[in-house]
């Protein structure tokens, strides 16, 4: 099926969201999906390391008769606001505003509008469904089943492990992150946060860490055949004279994140009561090599919460070799995202479109 694309804007209070609506080119009221990105300043395509996941998903869904709305996150592209100067609740509000926009159109079936969220989007989709009966279904790609704090600490450990950090380095990073979370919770000022962040970044750039990084890089060379990385990779190196600048940049980025309203809302987020309130059909998808959101930690936790809430209409699938971006991965480390094929693991797209079409036909 062919499709057309339309540039659209809609509002959530004073915030304007700009996006693209992909519509199957057929005279009918179509089921529709709102795509929800991961965290941070991401455009409507969820573009990262040269891959545009949401373009691929929108193309596949539209060719299968499903309309798709994707939009720039706050502070990106045509959307107003500022990166990280919002909470998860604000992001959910944006998503529900997208639903209201679609409901006002004459080419969308208002009874068959759902969400497909990745990472942060996999957290926000259940929030939207718990708040509105207008949400017909949700897909959570790398969603979480417990607290944001637990997942952030697990992510810190998993990435450090796969990138070759020593046991001592891993424990140091975990303890440092716990101190940062505690400072955020007590409302510490930027100066106190910066002091801890500097300590954390300097420890990661210590000689021991550099030796671990060298070992990891040699391992990557053996697997990949080259060490080319896209800009923004954690493996970007430089001469000794550049280290001070690198440290300053790392500290600044971490300080912006950890001092933001978004981070506070994320660490305090508890997915359990929200998932218990989800009554619509749900598809939960995990990557077996996802080092940012642990399948082991979250899969059963999400299922248990849905069951406690009385929801039996859910499906859970894991792609064993998929990383957080659902590429076919080698280790799952974020440092290899840019070196992998810019495509999803086989069956990923078909799983979602087939499931959506099944649910909207029986709605």
Average the pLDDT over 342-356 and give the result: 98
What confidence tier does 363 reach under pLDDT thresholds 50, 70, 90? low
Same domain, 59 and 143: yes
Give dist(CA 33, CA 147) in Å, integer. 26
* Statement: residue 285 has pLDDT above 50: yes
Do 194 and 292 fall into the same domain? no
The CA R_g of the chain, rounded to the nearest whole Å, is 21
pLDDT value of position 240: 39
pLDDT at 194: 92
pLDDT at position 206 is: 62
Residue 105 CB-density burial (10 A; 0-12 exposed, 13-18 middle, 19+ buried) = middle
Answer positive or negative: Cα dihedral of 36, 40, 44, 46.
negative
1, exposed or middle or buried, with CB in 10 Å at 0-12, 13-18, 19+? exposed
360: left (phi over 0), alpha (psi -120 to 50) or beta: alpha
pTM over 0.85: yes
> How far apart, in whole angstroms, are the C-alpha atoms of residue 251 and residue 232?
15
Question: Angle at Cα 113 formed by Cα 85 and Cα 316, nearest 5°?
Answer: 85
* pLDDT for the residue numbered 53: 98
Mean pLDDT, rounded, for 238-264:
76
- Give the burial class of 41: count Cβ atoms within 10 A of its Cβ; 0-12 exposed, 13-18 middle, 19 or more buried: middle
Same domain as 116, residue 19 = yes
Res 336 pLDDT > 80? yes
| Domain final residue, candidates 212, 232, 264 | 264
Shared-domain flag, residues 255 and 164: yes
SS3 105: coil
Q: Please check the confidence at residue 265 and state whether its pLDDT lies above 70.
A: yes
Task: Looking at the structure, tell me whether residues 19 and 128 fall in a common domain.
Answer: yes
pLDDT digits 0-9 by tens, 136-190: 999 999 999 999 999 999 999 999 999 999 999 999 999 999 999 999 999 998 8
Query: Which residues does residue 170 pair with via DSSP β-bridges, in sequence order?
Result: none
At residue 245 the predicted structure's pLDDT band, cuts being 50, 70 and 90, is low
Q: Are 135 and 114 a contacting pair, CB within 8 Å?
A: yes
Locate all alpha helices (DSSP H) within 67-189, ordered by sequence.
88-103, 120-131, 148-162, 167-185
The domain boundary, picked from 210, 230, 264, lies at: 264
Range of the domain at 239: 152-264
pLDDT of residue 232: 32
Residues shown for the chain: 363
Please say which residue of 244, 264, 284 terminates a domain.
264
pLDDT of residue 54: 98
Residues 6 or more apart from 181 whose CB is under 8 A from it? Answer: 149, 152, 267
Query: Does 134 share its domain with 9?
Result: yes
Judge if 209 and 328 occupy the same domain: no
21 and 143 fall within a common domain:
yes
The reply to whether 86 and 48 lie within a common domain is yes
User: Residue 35 is part of a domain; what is its CATH number?
Assistant: 3.40.50.1820
Residue-level pLDDT at 302: 98
Instruction: From 65, 175, 74, 71, select the one nearest 112 (Cα to Cα).
Output: 65
The SS3 of residue 55 is helix
pLDDT at 347 over 80: yes
User: Number of structural domains, the chain?
Assistant: 2
| pLDDT confidence of residue 203 | 79
CB 306 within 8 A of CB 276: yes
Res. 231: pLDDT tops 70: no
In tens, the pLDDT along 4-39 reads 999 999 999 999 999 999 999 988 899 999 999 999
Dump pLDDT digits (tens) for 90-128: 999 999 999 999 999 999 999 999 999 999 999 999 999
User: Are residue 165 and residue 139 in the same domain, yes or no?
Assistant: no
Residues 10 and 143 in one domain: yes
160 and 258 fall within a common domain = yes
Q: What is the DSSP letter of 199?
A: H
């Amino acid at each position: 099926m062919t499709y057309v694309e339309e540039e659209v804007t809609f509002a959530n209070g004073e915030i304007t969201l700009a996006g693209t609506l992909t519509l199957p080119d057929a005279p009918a009221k179509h089921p529709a999906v709102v795509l929800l990105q991961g965290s941070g300043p991401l455009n409507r395509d969820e573009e990262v390391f040269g891959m545009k996941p949401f373009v691929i998903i929108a193309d596949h869904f539209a060719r299968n008769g499903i309309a798709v709305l994707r939009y720039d996150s706050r502070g990106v592209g045509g959307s107003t606001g500022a990166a990280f100067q919002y909470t998860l609740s604000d992001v959910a509000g944006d998503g529900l505003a997208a639903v209201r926009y679609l409901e006002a159109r004459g080419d969308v079936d208002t009874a068959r509008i759902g969400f497909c969220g990745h990472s942060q989007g996999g957290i926000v989709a259940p929030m939207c469904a718990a708040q509105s009966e207008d949400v017909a279904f949700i897909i959570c790609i790398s969603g979480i089943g417990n607290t944001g704090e637990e997942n952030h600490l697990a992510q810190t450990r998993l990435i450090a492990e796969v990138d070759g950090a020593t046991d001592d380095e891993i424990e140091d990073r975990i303890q440092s992150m716990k101190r940062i979370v505690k400072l955020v919770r007590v409302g510490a000022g930027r100066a106190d946060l910066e002091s801890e962040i500097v300590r954390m970044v300097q420890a990661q750039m210590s000689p021991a860490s550099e030796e671990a990084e060298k070992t990891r890089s040699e391992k990557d060379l053996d697997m990949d055949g080259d060490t080319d990385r896209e800009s923004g990779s954690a493996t970007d190196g430089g001469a000794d004279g550049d280290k001070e600048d690198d440290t300053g940049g790392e500290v600044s980025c971490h300080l912006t994140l950890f001092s933001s309203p978004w981070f506070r809302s994320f660490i305090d987020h508890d997915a359990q009561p929200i998932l218990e309130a989800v009554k619509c059909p749900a598809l939960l998808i995990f990557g077996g090599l996802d080092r940012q959101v642990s399948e082991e930690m979250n899969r059963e936790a999400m299922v248990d919460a849905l069951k406690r809430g009385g929801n039996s209409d859910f499906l859970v699938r894991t792609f064993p070799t998929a990383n957080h971006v659902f590429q076919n991965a080698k280790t799952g480390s974020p440092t290899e995202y840019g070196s992998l094929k810019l495509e999803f693991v086989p069956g990923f797209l078909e799983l979602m479109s087939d499931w959506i079409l099944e649910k909207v036909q029986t709605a």
